[in-house]
Amino acid sequence: MADQTDTNPPPLVPETGVADLGLFGKPLFQDPSARALARVGVVDVGSNSVRLVVFDGAARSPAYFYNEKIMCALGAGMAETGHLSPQGRARALSAMRRFSKLAEGMGLSELTVVATAAVRDATDGHDFCDEVQRETGLKIWVIAGEEEARLSAQGVLLGWPGAYGLVCDIGGSSMELAEISAGRVGKRVTSALGPLKLRDLKGGAKARQAHIKEIMQGLAEKMGAQRDRLFLVGGSWRAIARIDMVRQGYPLHVLHEYRMTAKSVRDTVKHIQNSDIEELRQISGVSSSRMALVPYAAEVLSRLVKTFKPKDIAISSYGIREGMLYEQMPQRLRDRDPLIEACRFAEDKDARTPGFGKVLFDFISPLYKSASPQRKRLIKAACLLHDVSWRAHPDYRAEVCFDNATRANLGGLKHSERVFLGLSLLHRYSNKRENSRFEDLYELVDEKARMDAEILGKAMRFGAMLWMNKDAERGTLRWYPKKKLLELWLTNDMLPLFGEVAEARLNSLAASLGAQVQLKTAKS
């Protein structure tokens, strides 16, 4: 990371849009400005649910130290009464009492609590906030719709620092849109297109769809053309994405960064409309309270896609709560690549020799002189993670590595990149990938990427054999792709490290490269 006094900021890496801090810039997770985020508690009082999240936010990809949601449906029936649901209010108050005690037990100095559309619009919303403060000491900040849109968009930026496109956050009683470009939030609008409100609308499906169309046209006039990526934030969108996964037999059940097309949205909306809701709920694993709102949210999504015509659609598991954390991050931490910072944090915490990932990366780098910045980023991540699962049983270490990489809470990773990273770490511990329980996931990357991941894994597997001290003198690889020649240069002092197992691993790497091996010695 460039020092704050630097006059020339670091260049951005293409595609990721994050600062290129050199292959291994100084980590920030031990910096006082980052350590201040070691325990950050936020509560989101929504129209449908009340959720407490406690982040360990010292790393750029925060860990979820604690996460609890209570489905309260505060906004149910508001269209008729104008008041918060009495049952929902009682449940929400009970949840806030519990969350306050949990925060006390975790040693949190404070909880940041925000309330959105239901409390914002209800005639007794202010009274509810006063009651919560009397009972728990927690102050609720009731935020405007445009502020809700801004925080949700910042949550997306937590996972995609250089993201551009349109963020759509759907809650129980409202739906917000925010424009993001070059890592910044632009225009923002709010609407009443929440499924709880749509469910209470008079006139049936025909009137509801006309209402959705009219409001969506107004939103489009305010936001202008938005033909880039559409980021979907909110529980109802995630439920629809899960149904889409099941319908298509998609093998990786990770919602964050799941991609849909306009066609798949149309097909899934039709599938929802033509299916038995209870049967669909059981198959997809969506909760009953969430599933009850899905048909209404599906109508909104259908019209949203028809109106804005995005080039592609991505699900974001990060939203308003992550946006509240992002709000507290120093800019230096925001500028970091979330993937690399998270991997460095994992290496520091779990590897046998923290710091060795950089040594390993430097050693295998000659194999990747012509690699793209995006591929080098994944290679760097793999080197940082190559040893963090060493405590797993040797018979299962390869599978543990793959499982961790593909399902971990990591920002800035497409699903295909998760599989590539998982395969490279699998091959760090195993020459073969066949006959594992993950074979259906391999299809998310093409054959060339699978082979590249195998080569990377075998290079790390060999490199880790030669030394363990991150400061020790090391050997050198030289790769001549046109000649298909791989040279290993070792000093006389290092030759004893090149034993039978190390030689076998070098030969395995050379076989995957289709190369011949030559051992060279240099003076100590």
Model pLDDT, residue 69 = 94
Model pLDDT, residue 362 = 92
Give the pLDDT mean for 335-353.
89
Model pLDDT, residue 510 = 97
Q: How long, in residues, is the chain?
A: 524
**DSSP, residue by residue, 464-511:** HHH---TTS---EEEEETTTTEEEEEEETTTGGG--HHHHHHHHHHHH
pLDDT digits (tens, 9 = 90+) for 165-190: 999 999 999 999 999 998 899 999 99
Model pLDDT, residue 22 = 47
CATH topology assigned to domain 32-142:
Nucleotidyltransferase; domain 5 (3.30.420)
Domains 32-142 and 146-322 share a fold: yes
Q: Taking 70 as the threshold, does the pLDDT of residue 12 lie above it?
A: no
pLDDT band at 329; cut points 50, 70, 90: confident
Strand stretches in 462-523, DSSP E: 476-480, 485-491, 516-522
Residue 262 burial (C-beta neighbours within 10 Å; 0-12, 13-18, 19+): middle
Give the pLDDT mean for 129-133.
97
Model pLDDT, residue 285 = 93
Model pLDDT, residue 3 = 32
- What gap in Å lies between CA 379 and CA 372, rounded to an integer? 11
Q: Taking 60 as the threshold, does the pLDDT of residue 38 lie above it?
A: yes
The DSSP secondary-structure symbol of 439 reads G
Model pLDDT, residue 9 = 36
- What gap in Å lies between CA 175 and CA 470, rounded to an integer? 51
- Token pair 């969350």: residue: 99
The DSSP secondary-structure symbol of 192 reads S
The dihedral of CA 160, 162, 164, 166: what is its sign? positive
Q: Taking 90 as the threshold, does the pLDDT of residue 2 lie above it?
A: no
Residue 167's nearest CA partner among 109, 215, 118, 237 is 237
Mean pLDDT, rounded, of the chain: 89
- Token pair 């209010």: residue: 89
Give the pLDDT mean for 104-115.
91
Per DSSP, the three-state class of 12 is: strand
Q: Kindly give, in sequence order, each residue whose CB lies less than 8 Å from that of residue 144, ignoring residues fewer than 6 positions away.
A: 120, 190
From residue 117, alpha-carbon distances to 84, 123, 172, 258, 327 in Å are 11, 12, 8, 27, 20
Q: How far is CA 38 from the centre of its chain?
A: 19
Model pLDDT, residue 11 = 44
- What gap in Å lies between CA 478 and CA 487, rounded to an integer? 5
Domain boundaries, the chain: 32-142, 146-322, 336-522
Is 169:319 a contact under the CB 8 Å cutoff? Answer: yes
pLDDT digits (tens, 9 = 90+) for 296-317: 999 999 999 999 999 999 999 9
pLDDT digits (tens, 9 = 90+) for 352-381: 999 899 999 999 999 999 999 999 999 999
- What gap in Å lies between CA 227 and CA 313, rounded to an integer? 11
pLDDT digits (tens, 9 = 90+) for 509-521: 999 999 999 999 8
Give the pLDDT mean for 463-488.
85
Model pLDDT, residue 369 = 93
Model pLDDT, residue 32 = 64
Strand partners, 188: 178
pLDDT band at 468; cut points 50, 70, 90: low
405: phi > 0 → left, psi -120 to 50 → alpha, else beta; which?
alpha
- What gap in Å lies between CA 148 and CA 50, rounded to an integer? 15
pTM of the model as a whole: 0.88
Q: Taking 90 as the threshold, does the pLDDT of residue 23 lie above it?
A: no
Query: Looking at domain 336-522, does it have CATH number 1.10.3210.10?
Result: yes
Q: Kindly give, in sequence order, each residue whose CB lies less than 8 Å from that of residue 36, ignoring residues fewer than 6 positions away.
A: none
Give the pLDDT mean for 438-444.
93
Is 347:419 a contact under the CB 8 Å cutoff? Answer: no
Model pLDDT, residue 6 = 33
- What gap in Å lies between CA 334 and CA 348, rounded to an integer? 20
Q: Taking 90 as the threshold, does the pLDDT of residue 29 lie above it?
A: no
Is 464:514 a contact under the CB 8 Å cutoff? Answer: no
Residue 151's nearest CA partner among 328, 331, 320, 318 is 320
Q: Taking 60 as the threshold, does the pLDDT of residue 17 lie above it?
A: no
Model pLDDT, residue 34 = 58
CATH architecture of 146-322: 2-Layer Sandwich (3.30)
- Neighbour order of strands in the sheet with 312-316: 184-191, 175-181, 165-170, 229-233, 312-316, 259-260
Q: Taking 80 as the threshold, does the pLDDT of residue 474 lie above it?
A: no
Give the residue, 77 or 315, on which the prediction is more confident. 315
